[in-house]
Chain A
Amino acid sequence: MAGAVVFCASSFLARSGTADLNLQAQLVWGTNKEKPDDPKLKEVDRSVAEKLRKVFKWKNYFEVNRQQFTVPVGSSKRIKMSDDCEIEVQNLGNSSIEVKLYGKGKLAVRKTQKISPSELLVLAGDDKDDTAWFVVLSQLAK
């Protein structure tokens, strides 16, 4: 019996999250209009665009910025996505993260969430002229 308890406890301990998280954040702009004449804007990866189209009403999605970064367990990283938009990601362990979104330096939203390579966490909001912005956070496969 004691062996069973030790086995259970050790297997749970082994699963405790101690891994660094390799993450990617994309700042995306969604619109129903055609691509503006701005060389900084790129087409979003097809898989991400398709997922966004499944959920949101906008037809076209353009990448404004992309950042890849690693967050060790128990620490956090602040990433500048644009002049007005920053995110801060804290690795809580066990594939859980806390994401803070800052708009013009002010904390706009804080979210705690599990993350996995097959999942996207999207922070989004409306913008002028019936467009929208998206911060698409994903875990990079090892």
Chain B
Amino acid sequence: MINHETELKLQAYLDGELSPGEAKTVADLLRRDAGAQALYQELRIAKSLLAENELDRKLPESREFYWSKIRRQIEREESTLADGLTEPAAFRWWTRFLAPAGVLAGLAILVAVTLRSPNGGGTILALDDSHEIETPLEETSSFSFRSEAAAMTVVWVDSHRE
């Protein structure tokens, strides 16, 4: 099982962003770990088929102004959060009502989920948002990714064609 840090190292290795020492460590890992090797191949394929390796974004204003807007937004949200922590007693009365109501609503959802139809069709309530992928053929592999910019989910089927 490859941890997230190793995944990032593999990506950095592919992009040539590692120091010689780190690159050697990753190269050694790739020689002895089949899982790392498979992930590296997927990343390599993904990199080769994408239109652009890095998205070049141009800011519509100066860098300083852009980041200062983000800082102001964070400060504003922190300030709002702090205000929320010191709400008057009247608000706390409402929370005493909303907390048990929330628990009951949660129970109602749980009951509805439990009542899901076993045959998959006619689902009473489908909260499951899992996106499963399966590749049964041995000679093919697949991976999935999403492009927010294109509003597109891609399942790439690799037939190991060279």
Count A-side interface residues using an 8 Å CB cutoff: 47
Contact among A12, A92, A96 with B125 in the assembled complex (CB-CB below 8 Å):
A12
Establish whether residues B104 and A111, one from each chain, have CB atoms under 8 Å apart when the complex forms.
no
Task: Decide: A108 near B124, CB < 8 A? Known: A4-B101, A53-B51.
Answer: no
Q: Is B15 part of the contact surface with A, judged by Cβ < 8 Å?
A: no
Q: Is B130 part of the contact surface with A, judged by Cβ < 8 Å?
A: yes
Q: Is B5 part of the contact surface with A, judged by Cβ < 8 Å?
A: no
A57 to B48, CA, bound (A): 8
Contact among A4, A13, A96 with B104 in the assembled complex (CB-CB below 8 Å):
A4
Interface-facing stretch out of B25-33, B68-76, B79-87, B135-143: B135-143
Contact among B111, B121, B156 with A74 in the assembled complex (CB-CB below 8 Å):
B121
Find residues 116-162 in chain B having any chain A CB closer than 8 Å to their own CB: 119-126, 128-137, 140, 142, 144, 147, 149-159, 161
Point out the residues of chain B lying under 8 angstroms from A9, CB to CB. Answer: 108-109, 111-112
Task: Decide: A92 near B126, CB < 8 A? Known: A9-B108, A108-B137, A128-B161.
Answer: yes
In the assembled complex, the CB of A88 is this many whole angstroms from the nearest CB of chain B, namely: 13
Contact among A101, A120, A128 with B157 in the assembled complex (CB-CB below 8 Å):
A101
Point out the residues of chain B lying under 8 angstroms from A108, CB to CB. Answer: 135-137, 140, 142, 157
Beyond contacts A55-B147, A114-B131, A119-B151: 9 other A-B pairs, Cβ-Cβ < 8 A, are A54-B150, A56-B49, A73-B121, A73-B122, A107-B137, A108-B140, A110-B136, A112-B132, A124-B154
8 pairs from A and B in contact (CB 8 Å cutoff) = A56-B49, A74-B120, A92-B121, A101-B157, A109-B155, A110-B134, A111-B155, A122-B155
